[in-house]
């Protein structure tokens, strides 16, 4: 039945994954429309339960993710390429960074870049720190760098690395289930594998819905300050509709014409805004504070990695750290597959260092420039940022309240609205492409209507939550994402194990490191479709994971009682004779 409906709709995807995901999203949106108060209560209670009993789990988990990535980059496995051993990077360093930055994280900087530092400056989370003191300012910048910079990218790098290895080294389908091939085997194509992929798509839809929702609130605040546009749900729904429509246009254009071009344009606009804030603000103080805050962040990093607010138990961890980690992990499958896709041909060491270090350094400059200027406005210009942003809780308006203290506000504010809008367009664009690949099980051309559908899902979920919840929209977005992100966070632990296990299976013991070369795997249903259309098109692909003969790694084995060393194929009893003497 599902297969017939699937074919009538002209789709070319996996019916169980597609319809399970679509059904869940439809059920969620209809439930929120019919029972908004009850749904708010349910998600609020579930989120509070997770924060109360498992907040520590998020803190510990992200610390372990970081340790795992540092170990892997420093180990001998750091030389392994995400792709065939002779592959080269597809994109230049500049293009690579631009697309990394545009994959949803640039919008986070614009929303929280001024709001988070001023919030922690006014309400320090650490015991004994006086509000609005120098220590509070240093801690505020360090915490913001921790949340928005390095450790947000830690969460994104783990699935990105796993996708890169299993999709482009082992050539398995670009699905989350493929990561579990070492323990599931052919089961990645079975019910459990399909359930994992459906969960990944659902979490991505909700994670991006939260991002777009925050963007809609921020854009609405900017339009209210600039032009007196009402700050209401139907305006925010209209903004979401316009952003989604623009995202669909970019989706139809494809990766190189859509995401790549918008990413270039967007990163240039963001850098221009950053330089304007630097030059028009307290430049000398900002530069000094930014450099100092980088050192202070590194000094406090071990403490922040494991900080649980255990003694005061103020709830700060749940409101900030747990929300950030749950939010980030919810769209980590999309960003992970996206950054893996644009990182083919790079080594694990290059991938880890590049994905962690380059964006984190940029974030340090961004947080330093915005945060230090916010402190200067509050301390020396009677800016009332704390009153408007913290006391009144108007976080969506924080950026525009901040920009109001700089010259050319009438020009800079609309420019900023445009930057925010393009960031969310690129997020929807890249997410739709990625979700379509997960549902398809391949990255070849597929009907454009599928990508359009996933983009629409993001917009609809976001609009329904904001319109039905009214003034509590921001809180409900946070509650929903904490609940949705929890099971995805658990999968992150298994992903680390799968990467290590796969590397040990495939890697040789002698330099240069040789690894198995894997044949391209596509889902069985796609194999059958291609075979019916043109049988020659399936000659180079397989349904079950299979490595190419003759590419097994070798290790050196000492022959007993001879003093000789022989090169032996891994997982094989055959040996290559060697005249090399042990002496």
pLDDT tens per residue, range 414-449: 999 888 888 878 778 778 888 888 888 776 677 778
> Which residue from 303, 371, 392 is spatially nearest to 137, judged by alpha carbons?
371
d(CA 339, CA 67) in angstroms, rounded, equals: 20
The dihedral of CA 356, 359, 362, 363: what is its sign? Answer: negative
Task: Report pLDDT for 471.
Answer: 62
Q: Distances from the Cα of 156 to the Cαs of 222, 329, 403, in angstroms?
A: 29, 7, 30
User: Do 289 and 252 belong together in one domain?
Assistant: yes
Q: How many folded domains does the chain comprise?
A: 3
pTM of the shown model? 0.81
pLDDT band at 101 (very low <50, low <70, confident <90, very high): low
Q: Which residue has the higher pLDDT, 108 or 134?
A: 134
Mean pLDDT computed over every residue of the chain: 82
> Which residue from 25, 62, 103 is spatially nearest to 331, judged by alpha carbons?
103
H runs (alpha helix) in 441-472: 448-469
Inside any domain, residue 10: no
Task: Report pLDDT for 517.
Answer: 76
Task: Report pLDDT for 2.
Answer: 67
Tell me the mean pLDDT in the region 362-391: 88
Report yes or no: 239 and 216 within 8 Å, Cβ to Cβ: yes
User: Do 203 and 216 belong together in one domain?
Assistant: yes
Contacts for 439 with CB less than 8 Å, ≥ 6 apart: 13, 14, 17, 18, 21, 197, 201, 450, 454
User: Do 477 and 567 belong together in one domain?
Assistant: no
In DSSP terms, which residues pair with 518 in a beta bridge? 547
In DSSP terms, which residues pair with 515 in a beta bridge? 507
**Could you count the other beta carbons within 10 Å of the beta carbon of residue 295?**
11
358 pLDDT higher than 80: yes
Q: Please state the separation of Cα 140 from the chain's center in Å.
A: 23
User: Do 418 and 446 belong together in one domain?
Assistant: yes
Tell me the mean pLDDT in the region 258-277: 78
Inside any domain, residue 274: yes
Comparing 104-118, 328-342, 459-473, which segment has the lowest mean pLDDT? Answer: 459-473
> Which residue from 226, 364, 345, 242 is spatially nearest to 294, judged by alpha carbons?
364
pLDDT band at 107 (very low <50, low <70, confident <90, very high): confident
| DSSP tag of 313 | -
> Which residue from 501, 401, 414 is spatially nearest to 182, judged by alpha carbons?
501
User: Do 419 and 531 belong together in one domain?
Assistant: no
Looking only at the bridges linking them, the beta strands covering 575-576 and 564-569 are: antiparallel
User: Do 564 and 464 belong together in one domain?
Assistant: no
User: Do 352 and 497 belong together in one domain?
Assistant: yes
Inside any domain, residue 336: yes
User: Do 410 and 427 belong together in one domain?
Assistant: yes
How many percent of the chain have pLDDT more than 70? 87
71 pLDDT higher than 90: yes
Domain hosting residue 579, numbered range? 552-583
| Omega within 30 of 0 (cis) for the link into 180 | no
Inside any domain, residue 398: yes
Q: Which residue has the higher pLDDT, 8 or 198?
A: 198
**HEC letters along 219-245:** HHHHHHHHHCCCCCHHHHHHHHHHHHH
Domain CATH code at residue 122:
1.20.1740
Inside any domain, residue 512: no
User: Do 455 and 523 belong together in one domain?
Assistant: no
For residues 249, 254, 259 and 264, what is the CA-based torsion angle, rounded to 10 degrees? -110
> Which residue from 379, 449, 480, 438 is spatially nearest to 118, judged by alpha carbons?
379
Tell me the mean pLDDT in the region 45-60: 90
Comparing 105-114, 163-172, 283-292, 301-310, which segment has the lowest mean pLDDT? Answer: 105-114
Task: Report pLDDT for 259.
Answer: 55
d(CA 188, CA 179) in angstroms, rounded, equals: 9
pLDDT band at 140 (very low <50, low <70, confident <90, very high): very high
Tell me the mean pLDDT in the region 277-297: 92
Comparing 227-236, 268-277, 346-355, which segment has the lowest mean pLDDT? Answer: 227-236
Task: Report pLDDT for 505.
Answer: 82
User: What's the token pair of residue 347?
Assistant: 């080594």
User: Do 457 and 556 belong together in one domain?
Assistant: no
359 pLDDT higher than 90: no
Q: Which residue has the higher pLDDT, 107 or 300?
A: 300
Helix (H, G, I), strand (E, B) or coil at 83: coil
411 pLDDT higher than 80: yes
H runs (alpha helix) in 75-91: none
Task: Report pLDDT for 512.
Answer: 45
The distance in angstroms from the start CA to the end CA of the chain is 70
377 pLDDT higher than 70: yes
Tell me the mean pLDDT in the region 162-175: 89
376 pLDDT higher than 50: yes
User: Do 538 and 484 belong together in one domain?
Assistant: no
d(CA 177, CA 159) in angstroms, rounded, equals: 11
User: Do 492 and 571 belong together in one domain?
Assistant: no
Task: Report pLDDT for 579.
Answer: 37
d(CA 549, CA 504) in angstroms, rounded, equals: 18
Tell me the mean pLDDT in the region 192-204: 89
Inside any domain, residue 3: no
Task: Report pLDDT for 578.
Answer: 36
Inside any domain, residue 460: yes
User: What's the token pair of residue 452?
Assistant: 């359009």
Inside any domain, residue 4: no
Burial status of residue 228 (CB atoms within 10 A of its CB: 0-12, 13-18, 19 or more): exposed
DSSP for 146-198, please give it. IIIIIHHHHHHHHHHHHHHHHHHTS---SSGGGGGHHHHGGGGGSHHHHHHHH
Which of 30-39, 274-283, 313-322, 333-342 shows the highest mean pLDDT? 274-283
Report yes or no: 494 and 166 within 8 Å, Cβ to Cβ: no
Chain segment 484-511, per-residue pLDDT in tens: 888 889 888 999 999 998 888 886 543 4
372 pLDDT higher than 90: yes
Task: Report pLDDT for 98.
Answer: 67
Comparing 50-54, 67-71, 417-421, 545-549, which segment has the lowest mean pLDDT? Answer: 545-549
């Amino acid at each position: 039945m599902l297969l017939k409906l699937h074919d009538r709709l002209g789709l070319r995807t996996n019916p169980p994954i597609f319809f399970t995901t679509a059904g869940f999203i439809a059920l969620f949106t209809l439930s929120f429309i019919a029972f908004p108060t009850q749904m708010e209560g349910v998600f609020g209670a579930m989120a509070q339960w997770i924060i109360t009993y498992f907040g520590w789990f998020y803190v510990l988990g992200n610390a372990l993710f970081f340790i795992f990535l540092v170990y892997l980059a420093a180990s001998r496995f750091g030389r392994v390429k995400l792709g065939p051993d002779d592959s080269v990077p597809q994109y230049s360093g500049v293009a690579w960074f631009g697309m990394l930055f545009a994959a949803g994280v640039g919008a986070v900087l614009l929303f929280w870049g001024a709001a988070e530092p001023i919030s922690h400056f006014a309400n320090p989370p650490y015991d004994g720190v006086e509000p609005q003191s120098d220590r509070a300012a240093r801690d505020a910048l360090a915490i913001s760098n921790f949340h928005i910079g390095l450790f947000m990218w830690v969460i994104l790098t783990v699935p990105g690395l796993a996708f890169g290895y299993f999709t482009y080294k082992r050539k398995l389908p670009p699905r989350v289930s493929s990561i579990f091939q070492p323990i599931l085997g052919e089961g990645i194509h079975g019910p459990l594998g399909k359930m994992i992929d459906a969960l990944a798509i659902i979490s991505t839809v909700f994670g991006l819905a939260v991002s777009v929702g925050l963007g809609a609130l921020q854009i609405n605040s900017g339009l209210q300050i600039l032009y007196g546009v009402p700050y209401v749900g139907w305006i925010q729904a209209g903004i979401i509709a316009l952003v989604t429509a623009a995202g669909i246009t970019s989706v139809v254009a494809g990766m190189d014409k859509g995401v790549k071009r918008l990413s270039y344009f967007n990163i240039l606009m963001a850098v221009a805004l950053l330089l304007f804030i630097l030059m028009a603000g307290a430049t000398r103080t900002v530069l000094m504070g930014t450099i100092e805050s980088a050192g202070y962040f590194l000094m406090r990093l071990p403490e922040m990695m494991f900080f649980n607010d255990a003694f005061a138990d103020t709830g700060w961890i749940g409101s900030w750290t747990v929300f950030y980690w749950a939010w980030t992990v919810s769209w980590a499958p999309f960003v992970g597959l996206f950054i893996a896709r644009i990182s083919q041909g790079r080594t694990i060491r290059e991938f880890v260092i590049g994905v962690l270090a380059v964006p984190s350094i940029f974030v340090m400059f961004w947080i330093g420039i915005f945060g230090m200027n916010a402190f200067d406005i509050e301390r020396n210009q009677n800016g009332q940022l704390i009153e408007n942003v913290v006391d009144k809780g108007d976080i969506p308006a924080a950026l525009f309240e901040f920009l109001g203290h700089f010259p050319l506000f009438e020009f800079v504010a609309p420019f900023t609205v445009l930057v925010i809008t393009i960031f969310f367009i690129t997020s929807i664009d890249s997410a739709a492409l990625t979700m379509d690949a997960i549902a398809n099980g391949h990255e070849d051309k597929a009907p454009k209507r599928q990508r359009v559908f996933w983009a629409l899902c993001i917009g609809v979920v976001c609009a329904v939550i904001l319109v039905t919840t009214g003034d509590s929209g921001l809180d409900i977005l946070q509650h929903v994402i904490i609940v949705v992100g929890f099971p995805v966070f658990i999968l992150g632990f298994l992903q680390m194990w799968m990467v290590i296990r796969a590397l040990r299976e495939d890697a040789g013991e002698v330099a240069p490191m040789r690894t198995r070369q894997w044949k391209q795997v596509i889902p069985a249903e796609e194999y059958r479709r291609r075979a019916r259309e043109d049988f020659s098109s399936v000659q180079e692909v397989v349904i079950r994971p299979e490595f190419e003969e003759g590419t097994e790694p070798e290790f050196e084995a000492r022959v007993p009682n001879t003093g000789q060393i022989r090169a032996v194929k891994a997982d094989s009893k055959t040996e290559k004779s060697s005249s090399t003497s042990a002496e």
